[in-house]
Amino acid sequence: SPDDDTKGAGTRDGGYCTQDEVAEGTPGFSVLMPVESETIAQRPTFSLYIPETVARKVFFSLKDAEEEYDYQTIITLPKTGSEFSFLLPEDAPDLKTNTPYQWSISLICQQSLDPNDPTVTGVIERVESQEITGNRERGTGNGEQGTGNREQGTGNREQGTGNREQGTGKVE
């Protein structure tokens, strides 16, 4: 729907690698959390849907506006055709509070990352726990599905969705 707030900007080719054989109507590579989210976790969880694909790895990037924090890594996918969640890796610095971070995750369709590979992007900000509690009840999404809708509520941040992301487990 036009109000769906779960897909980041930049998804290309319907969320598939060009080599993938895609049945019509099959969902593509997408993010399963609000693209603008708040967390109380130093190491938040990122949740994706990975379609059946030739890609076996994703490229993950996280940086702040000043690029003082700039983390990049490649993560091997355990399988495709399913949901995939991962914690911010241990070798990444913890997120600072009240700092928005731009994240991007790309399927690596060939041997190395290509600018045309499907990519999802978003913003996550770590906040103090008391800041996020007021958002929980009048937040903008359905916590079970991790979706958000900016039209339903505003939360604490001007551009934020009021949703929180607490980590749903570690796949690797």
Q: Which of 43, 73, 45 is nearest to 58 (CA)?
A: 73
Check: CB of residue 29 under 8 Å from CB of residue 82. no
Tokens of 45: 């969880």
Q: Inform me whether the pLDDT recorded for 135 exceeds 60.
A: no
Q: What is the spatial distance between Cα 57 and Cα 78, in angstroms, rounded to a whole number?
A: 9
Mean of the pLDDT values across residues 28-44?
93
Place of tokens 């949901």: 83
Contact of 162 with 153, CB cutoff 8 Å = yes
Which of 8-22, 23-37, 39-53 is predicted with the least confidence, judged by mean pLDDT? 8-22
Banded pLDDT at 165 (limits 50, 70, 90): very low
Mean pLDDT lowest among 30-34, 40-44, 88-92, 161-165: 161-165
Q: What are phi and psi of 135, to 5 degrees?
A: -80, -25
Provide the token pair at 37. 């989210």
Q: Helices marked H in 33-142 — which ranges?
A: 129-138
Residues of the chain with pLDDT > 70: what percent? 67
Residue 87 has pLDDT above 50, yes or no: yes
Residue 8's pLDDT is: 45
Q: How confident is the model at residue 163 (pLDDT cuts 50, 70, 90)?
A: very low
**Is residue 60 over pLDDT 90?**
yes
The yes-or-no verdict on residue 37 having pLDDT over 60 is yes
pLDDT surpasses 90 at 136:
no
The reported pLDDT for the residue numbered 74 is 97
Q: Report the pLDDT value the prediction gives residue 170, as an integer from 0 to 100.
A: 32
